[in-house]
Amino acid sequence: MFRRRRPLVRAAGVVATTAVVAGTAGAVHHHQQQKYAGQQAAGQQQQDQAYQQGMADAQAQQQQAAPPPAPAAPPPAAAPAAPDLTAQLQQLAQLHTAGVLSDEEFAQAKQKLLAG
């Protein structure tokens, strides 16, 4: 009967050793997770600060270097006594295509020409 107890004692020792190793591994893993989470949070905080600084710099630069307002588009030149309607419409279309006249300005000028 004494012989049967020895294997049980050895098995209990192996189980205890395994439990200690598993517990240590779990503690190390938990410590590493906390360490990496802290590093990740610090990195995120640095990125947020850099982003906010960049946004502040961009706003300050935008306020300092605001472009001057664009000059108003000159009205179409007065036509001679006998206007050539087709040529004037083509000129308006060219100004519109070049971006000098907006869609609204082009429509208004076209209506004026067609109204006579």
Q: How many whole angstroms separate alpha carbon 77 and alpha carbon 74?
A: 8
Long-range contacts of 12-16 (CB under 8 A, 24+ apart): none
Q: How many whole angstroms separate alpha carbon 107 and alpha carbon 76?
A: 13
- Residues 73, 101: contact at Cβ < 8 Å? yes
Banded model confidence at residue 113, pLDDT cuts 50, 70, 90: confident
Going from the C-alpha of 72 to that of each of 76, 96, 99, the distances in angstroms are: 12, 14, 12
pTM of the model: 0.32
Dump pLDDT digits (tens) for 47-90.
888 888 888 887 877 777 666 666 677 766 655 544 588 888 88
